[in-house]
Structure 1
Amino acid sequence: MEDQKIVQRNLELQRQWYGEPLGDRVRRLVVAFDVSQANLADVLGISAPMLSQVMSGRRAKIGNPSVLARLIMLERKVLTPEVASGRREALQKALEDVRDSKPTVSRDMLPVDPGRADRAALAVLRRAASVDELTEAARLLDGRFPAIAEVLRRAGALT
């Protein structure tokens, strides 16, 4: 029973530190990149047993800041049109890019501005489609999905 309390405490700490349990974040990456947990561990620069312990809550944190930085890099790559397409070669290139990276963690890497994620999402849309395409898509969706249409209009307004 004591182990279960430790796991629950660690999962709660992960929610506080990382926004959600790391197991959830890692599982999404395993699915998005269609790789094994061991392969993902290799890309992140962490041993497979250590990743398993973090995912299950037997460990609370990722101790190496570069591993956390690579995890974040992969999460951001999922949002790019190339990776989102699901093409095997694009997925493999993204994994290789992250594996080969030598990230450093600085205060500039961690967002302080809550609107930063929104702007990043709009920028991804802007890279995926032209202003005319975004405007036309917004027009088509306006009647049934006005909130989505507004996001597309905002993306089209970026310069």
Structure 2
Amino acid sequence: MSRTARMAFDGVRGADQVEDHKIVQRNIALQKEWYGEPLGDRVRRLVVAFDISQAFLAEVLGISAPMLSQVMSGRRAKIGNPVVLAKMIMLERKVLVPAVAAGDRKAMQEALEDVRDSRPTVGRDSIPVGAVADDQGVLVALRDIGEDEDLTEAAKLLDEDFPSLADLLRRAAKNGS
């Protein structure tokens, strides 16, 4: 290839890379709007929380590994299958189960199997797409108003009737120590 031809080719390739970057940035902005944050961040948290590979997470969610990778990198803006999104939300909620949060391998495996084997029914109003799974503000506020021991005692009182609130109180107590 001549020098002139190579320069022309490199110029086209450079323009394509700039265009690809713009598409990725647009898709990530759309993910923030639709899902509250980039899907790559949400997926990476699940991979770390459950100590699994991205490919295994894709299998659990019922999406191909390449498709999950494209969504994570911003090459694709959305998860097209609402069942996959519902499973991802289910898995995010299972991270809050005390045994899973504590790293209990058996509990983590059961949570993954439960989500993989689930068949969630979804409709337009049944998936909290705009909900952000960030409760850091709540945890900080709870720590500001209660001592660790008080939060733990309150969690025990709420355990039977309000397990989600109890888990939140326990997390606030644990993170406050």
TM-score, normalisation: structure 2 = 0.66
In the aligned structure 1, how far is the partner of 2:146 from the partner of 2:129?
A: 25
- When residues 29 and 112 of structure 1 are mapped into structure 2, their CA distance, relative to the original with a 3 A threshold, is closer
Q: CA deviation at 1:105?
A: 1.5
Amino acid at match of 2:98: P
RMSD: 3.1
What is the one-letter code of the residue matched to 1:80?
A: V
1:86 counterpart residue number: 103
Q: 1:60 to 1:111 in 2, by over 3 A?
A: closer
* Correspondence 1:1-159 to 2 at 5 A: 1-106=18-123, 107-110=125-128, 146-149=144-147, 152=151, 158=158
After TM superposition, give the deviation of residue 111 of structure 1 in Å: 8.5
> How does the TM-score come out when normalised to structure 1?
0.73
Q: Which structure 1 segments of 5+ residues have no match? A: 123-141
For residues 101-128 of structure 1, the C-alpha deviation after alignment (integer angstroms, 9 at most, x for no partner) is 00112324438999xx97xx89xxxxxx
Structure with higher Rg: it is 2
Q: Percent identity?
A: 67
Q: Give, in angstroms, the shift of residue 149 of structure 1.
A: 3.4
Q: Aligned partner of 1:7: which letter?
A: V
Q: Once the two structures are superposed, what CA deviation does each residue of 1:54-99 show, in whole Å capped at 9, x if it has no partner?
A: 0000000000000000000000000011211201111111000000
Cα distance in 2, alignment partners of residues 112 and 57 from structure 1: 18
- State the alpha-carbon separation in 2 of the partners of residues 104 and 73 from structure 1: 12
Which one-letter code corresponds to 1:147 in the other structure?
A: I
Matches of 1:96 and 1:157, distance apart in 2: 30
1:63 and 1:93 mapped to 2: Cα distance? Answer: 26
